[in-house]
């Protein structure tokens, strides 16, 4: 029955010649790719997400950053960052599948504005200011000032750093759009970043991912398997970073952000489940090797 439904899904996914059923991936903390870091060469594609760029630099995604599918992202974020498939769907893969289905793309395409890209990133300029794809040292220097006060990066530390970035932007850039969506996604990025680096990472580890797009195994970070579904941990950290910033919430005066009180509220803001075809997403996850992901109750 299960096999039949998978075959049916494959049929429905149709037109994808190379789609094939992959085995359940395994998170292996001793995977040699953790210690193998190669910066991008000329012609390689990198995008606005420092985590996905890091995965490409370590070979968990194709090093070229090109010809990548949603399936590669789901498997690569699991193998390299131990990110649960339901969470990679919530944080971007659902949007990807909406625009691209299983067609391949290059990492730089992720900075197409309005897709997942948003204003007020920690290390990228807003789209209105030009290059919103590549690391920008000037932008990053503002939140970094705040992070430098901390030796271990807590949700409050990264929340404070992002607040500094947002306030700087609001003060200097009349056209910025640090609205509810940017703030909610920013909080989620905060949670993802610290969760994927063990929960309370050293500043140097965070700098490694943002500035060098390198998983900091050379700086003492040890990849550790997380729970099967790590969404509650990530959302709890993300929410703590947001709620530690009452001043930001106040000046934005944003009713959506004010209504976010628990992890489920935050998830609903970034991943409005009714806007997606969950049947389709579930069949893609089966192809990716995750055959029993349930979106009804994943918190």
Ligand X SMILES: *[C@@H]1O[C@H](CO)[C@@H](O)[C@H](O)[C@H]1NC(C)=O
DSSP 205-226: HHHIIIII---GGGGT------
Q: Residue 270 binds what, of ligand HEM, ligand X, none (CB under 5 to 8 Å, by partner type)?
A: none
Rounded distance between C-alpha atoms, residue 95 and residue 99, angstroms = 6
Q: Does 270 bind ligand HEM (CB under 6 A)?
A: no
Q: Does 57 bind ligand HEM (CB under 6 A)?
A: no
Q: Does 49 bind ligand HEM (CB under 6 A)?
A: yes
Rounded distance between C-alpha atoms, residue 206 and residue 186, angstroms = 15
Count of residues making up the chain: 299
Tell me the sheet residues that pair with 117: 113
Q: Contacting ligand HEM (CB under 6 A), which of 56, 68, 97, 110? A: 110
Q: Does 117 bind ligand HEM (CB under 6 A)?
A: yes
Q: What region does 242 belong to: left with phi over 0, alpha with psi -120 to 50, or beta? A: alpha
Rounded distance between C-alpha atoms, residue 194 and residue 22, angstroms = 29
Q: Contacting ligand HEM (CB under 6 A), which of 37, 44, 45, 51? A: 51
Q: Which residues of 242-260 are buried (b: 16+ CB within 10 A; e: fewer)?
A: bbbbeebbeebebeebeeb
Q: Least distance to ligand HEM from the beta carbon of 119, Å? A: 7
**74 vs 266 by CB, closer to ligand X:** 74
**9 vs 105 by CB, closer to ligand HEM:** 105
**221 vs 276 by CB, closer to ligand X:** 276
Q: Contacting ligand HEM (CB under 6 A), which of 46, 118, 202, 214? A: 118
Q: Least distance to ligand X from the beta carbon of 29, Å? A: 26
Q: Does 223 bind ligand HEM (CB under 6 A)?
A: no
Long-range Cβ pairs for the range 154-158 (8 Å, 24+): 154/194, 154/200, 155/190, 155/191, 155/194, 155/237, 155/238, 155/240, 155/241, 155/244, 156/240, 156/241, 156/244, 158/190, 158/193, 158/194, 158/206, 158/241
Q: Residue 50 binds what, of ligand HEM, ligand X, none (CB under 5 to 8 Å, by partner type)?
A: ligand HEM
Rounded distance between C-alpha atoms, residue 138 and residue 169, angstroms = 12
Q: Least distance to ligand X from the beta carbon of 159, Å? A: 11
Q: Least distance to ligand HEM from the beta carbon of 93, Å? A: 6
Q: Does 230 bind ligand HEM (CB under 6 A)?
A: no
Shortest-Cβ-distance residue relative to ligand HEM: 92
**279 vs 292 by CB, closer to ligand X:** 279
Q: Which positions touch ligand HEM (CB under 6 A)?
A: 48-52, 73, 77, 81, 83, 88, 91-93, 96, 110, 116-118, 121-124, 189, 192-193, 196
């Amino acid at each position: 029955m299960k096999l039949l439904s998978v075959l049916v899904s494959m049929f429905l996914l149709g037109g994808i010649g190379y789609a094939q059923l992959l085995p359940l991936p395994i998170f292996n903390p001793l995977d040699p790719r953790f210690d193998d870091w190669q910066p991008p060469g000329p012609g390689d594609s990198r995008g606005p997400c420092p985590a996905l760029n890091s995965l490409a630099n370590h070979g968990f995604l194709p090093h070229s950053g090109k010809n990548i599918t949603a399936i590669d992202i789901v498997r690569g974020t699991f193998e390299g960052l131990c990110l649960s498939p339901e969470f990679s769907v919530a944080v971007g893969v659902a949007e990807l599948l909406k625009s691209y289905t299983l067609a391949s793309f290059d990492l730089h395409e992720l900075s197409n504005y309005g897709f997942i890209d948003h204003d007020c990133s920690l290390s990228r300029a807003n789209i209105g200011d030009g290059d919103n794809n590549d690391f920008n040292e000037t932008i990053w220097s503002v939140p970094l000032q705040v992070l430098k006060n901390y030796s271990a990066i807590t949700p409050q530390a990264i929340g404070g750093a992002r607040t500094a970035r947002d306030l700087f932007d609001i003060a200097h850039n009349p056209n910025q759009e640090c609205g509810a969506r940017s703030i909610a996604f920013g909080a989620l990025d905060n949670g993802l970043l610290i969760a994927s680096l063990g929960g309370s990472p050293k500043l140097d580890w965070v700098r490694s991912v943002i500035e060098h797009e390198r998983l900091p195994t050379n700086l003492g970070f040890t990849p550790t398997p997380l729970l099967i579904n790590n969404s509650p941990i990530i959302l709890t950290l993300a929410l703590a970073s947001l709620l530690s910033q009452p001043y930001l919430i106040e000046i934005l005066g944003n009713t959506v952000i004010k209504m976010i009180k628990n992890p489920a509220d935050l998830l609903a803001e970034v991943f409005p489940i009714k806007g997606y075809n969950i049947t389709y997403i579930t069949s893609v996850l089966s192809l990716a090797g995750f055959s029993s992901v349930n979106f009804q109750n994943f918190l």
